[in-house]
């Protein structure tokens, strides 16, 4: 039955579902594990580094993000973290709404600092939804990792050092490898 409704992103199924968005969300579960922990003195990001494709070139490059520079030029200060997250999620959401486009199969963790709210951690999904978090995880085995983070996160007491210890513990228990390395 879903065959008629999963060819286009803008057609809802009778149950009110957008299958293309659901497929993009499912793809995230196959990605490498990435977790973020908000601490009193910063934000820690830890990620599984895996290259499952032997022919994949690991050359990294980045394109200049003009939105950041435009804001800096106009207001003479860096763009607030939540404002940047909102702008990027608006783009992600637009890809679920207009014909001829498919949702990004990407969930992101954003970290930032601004003078009003201090350190911040946000997570977004392919639908363009986002939220602020104290600790979260995306990717493979993220449900188990989030459960452990809920159990072991100590609000108000978390430093970067204790966040690192927690991240190593969570990744060690939830990743599908027998040994963690600093790499």
* 130-177 pLDDT per residue, tens: 999 999 999 999 999 999 999 999 999 999 999 999 999 999 998 876
Looking at the domain assignment, is residue 60 inside a domain? no
13 contacts: CB under 8 Å, gap ≥ 6: 1, 2, 5, 19
Looking at the domain assignment, is residue 58 inside a domain? no
Compute the distance between CA of residue 110 and CA of residue 89 in angstroms, rounded to an integer. Answer: 11
Report CA Rg, the chain.
18
Looking at the domain assignment, is residue 169 inside a domain? yes
Compute the distance between CA of residue 62 and CA of residue 14 in angstroms, rounded to an integer. Answer: 41
Looking at the domain assignment, is residue 9 inside a domain? yes
Note down the domain range covering 21: 2-49+65-174
Compute the distance between CA of residue 41 and CA of residue 140 in angstroms, rounded to an integer. Answer: 28
23 contacts: CB under 8 Å, gap ≥ 6: 6, 105
Looking at the domain assignment, is residue 57 inside a domain? no
Number of domains in the chain: 1
Tally of helices (H runs) and strands (E runs) in the chain: 5, 6
Nearest CA among 35, 17, 1, 27 for reference residue 135: 35
* 45-103 pLDDT per residue, tens: 999 877 666 776 666 655 556 778 888 999 999 889 999 999 999 988 888 887 777 78
- State pTM to two decimals: 0.82
Q: Tell me the residue ranges of DSSP E strands in the chain.
A: 34-39, 42-47, 108-114, 118-124, 130-132, 135-138
Residue 84: CATH number of its domain:
3.60.20.10
pLDDT of residue 56: 66
Looking at the domain assignment, is residue 56 inside a domain? no
């Amino acid at each position: 039955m879903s065959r008629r409704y999963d060819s286009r992103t803008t057609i809802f199924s009778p149950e009110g579902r957008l299958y293309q968005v659901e497929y993009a969300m499912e793809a995230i579960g196959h990605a490498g594990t990435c977790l973020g922990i908000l601490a009193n003195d910063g934000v820690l990001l830890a990620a599984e580094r895996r290259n499952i494709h032997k022919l994949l070139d690991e050359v990294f490059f980045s394109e200049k993000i003009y939105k950041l520079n435009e804001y800096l030029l106009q207001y003479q200060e860096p763009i607030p973290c939540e404002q940047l997250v909102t702008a990027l999620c608006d783009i992600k959401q637009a890809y679920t709404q207009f014909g001829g486009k498919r949702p990004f199969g990407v969930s992101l963790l954003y970290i930032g600092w601004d003078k009003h709210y201090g350190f911040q951690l946000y997570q977004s999904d392919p639908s363009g939804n986002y939220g602020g978090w104290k600790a979260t995880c995306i990717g493979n085995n993220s449900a188990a990792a989030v459960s452990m983070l809920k159990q072991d996160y100590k609000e108000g007491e978390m430093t970067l050092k204790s966040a690192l210890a927690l991240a190593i513990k969570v990744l060690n228990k939830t990743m599908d490898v027998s040994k963690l390395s600093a790499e």
